Amino acid sequence: MIDNKRQQLVDNIRIAIAQQHDKTDVLQAAAELINAFSEAFNWTGFYLMRENVLEVGPYVGPRTEHVRIGLDKGICGAAALQKQSIIVDDVQADPRFLACAPTTRSEIVVPLLDGDTVLGEIDIDSDRPACFTTQDRQMLEAIADVVVMRLREIR
Ligand code: SME
């Protein structure tokens, strides 16, 4: 069970994206609301699966050079291949890590699953070591579900 403030974010995102009718607008609105949840979220965005490559979508944060990520690359690629969320407490100790900002210390990646299909993922970087908790993972998985539901409605 997630706590009230996290459940509130899930509910707020559900309401906000119901008012968006374009895929990019849905993802932008969700990225902005997620990013505003914590000062420790320093890059918050989406990657979208296109022909077995992850392409960067809407995000809040510094510009990233990783606009296309192969499934054999990065924490992003690993989460897409495993179809599972990955939390990395210390990115410097993880050889898979692709750095966006030199200040990043921890990361979470949560796939957008439509049944067994990975549509993309939510990626958050933090400058704080071990920033992401089990509660955050559960919250982001619930957000991924509401985002996928909305994408299904509008496509
Ligand atoms: N850190 C990610 C790459 C994406 S950028 O951080 C925005 C990774 O290791 O896959």
pLDDT (tens digit per residue) in 1-36: 899 999 999 999 999 999 999 999 999 999 999 999
pTM > 0.95: yes or no: yes
Q: Are 110 and 144 in contact (CB under 8 A)?
A: yes
- Single-letter amino acid code for the residue at 137: R
From 107, 109, 122, 127, mutation site for ligand 1 pocket: most ligand atoms within 8 A of C-beta? 107
- Ligand 1 atom index nearest CA of 73: 10
Q: Are 46 and 54 in contact (CB under 8 A)?
A: no
Domains of the chain: 4-153 (3.30.450.40)
Is it the case that residue 155 has pLDDT exceeding 90? no
Give the count of beta carbons closer than 10 Å to the beta carbon of residue 15: 10
- The fraction of the chain above a pLDDT of 70, given in percent, is 100
CA 129 – CA 81 distance, rounded (Å): 25
Q: Are 83 and 116 in contact (CB under 8 A)?
A: yes
DSSP string of 27-86? HHHHHHHHHHH-TT--EEEEEEEETTEEEEEEEESS--S-SEEETTSHHHHHHHHHTS-E
Write b or e for each residue in 91-104: b if 16 or more Cβ atoms lie within 10 A of its Cβ, otherwise e.
beeeeebbebeeeb
Whether 120 is in the pocket of ligand 1, judged by its Cβ within 6 Å, is no
